Amino acid sequence: MKAFPKSVPLALCVVLSACAIIEIVIGAVAFGTMFSLEIFEPLENRAALIVLMTSGVLTLICSAIGVVGFMKNRKLLLVYIAVACANIILQVAGFSVAFHSNVISEATELLVRLRVLYNFNEPTVMRLWDEMQKSLQCCGLLDSSEWQNSYPDSCCLDGDCTALTIFADPCYTVTEFFFFDLTQGVAGLSAAMTILQLILGGIAVIVSRQKPSSAYKPDSN
Domains of the chain with CATH codes:
4-103+173-217 (1.20.120), 105-169 (1.10.1450.10)
pLDDT of residue 212: 60
Percent of the chain with pLDDT over 70: 92
pLDDT of residue 54: 92
For 38-72, write each residue's pLDDT tens digit.
Answer: 898 887 667 788 888 999 999 999 999 999 988 88
Alpha-carbon Rg of the chain, whole angstroms? 24
| CA atoms of 141 and 180, how far apart (whole Å) | 16
Instruction: Report, as ranges of residue numbers, the positions in the chain whose pLDDT lies below 50.
Output: 1, 218, 221
Taking the alpha carbons of 120, 126, 132, 133 in that order, is the dihedral positive or negative?
Answer: positive
| CA atoms of 218 and 204, how far apart (whole Å) | 17
* H-type alpha helices, 43-143: 46-71, 76-99, 103-118, 123-136
Q: At what angle do helices 7-34 and 46-71 cross, to 10 degrees?
A: 160
The answer to whether the beta carbons of residues 125 and 114 sit under 8 Å apart is yes
DSSP 134-157: HHHT--SSS-GGGGTT---GGGSS
| Closest to 202 measured CA to CA, from 22, 7, 8 | 8
Taking the alpha carbons of 102, 31, 26, 33 in that order, is the dihedral positive or negative?
Answer: positive
- ∠ at Cα 105 (88, 167), nearest 5°? 105
pLDDT of residue 24: 93
b/e per residue, 170-197, with b = 16+ CB within 10 A? Answer: bbbebbebbbbebbebbbebbbebbebb
pLDDT of residue 1: 44
Per DSSP, 5 falls in state: E
The answer to whether the beta carbons of residues 4 and 217 sit under 8 Å apart is yes
| CA atoms of 211 and 48, how far apart (whole Å) | 42
| Closest to 161 measured CA to CA, from 143, 147, 178, 181 | 147
pLDDT of residue 57: 94
| CA atoms of 162 and 153, how far apart (whole Å) | 10
Specify the pTM.
Answer: 0.79
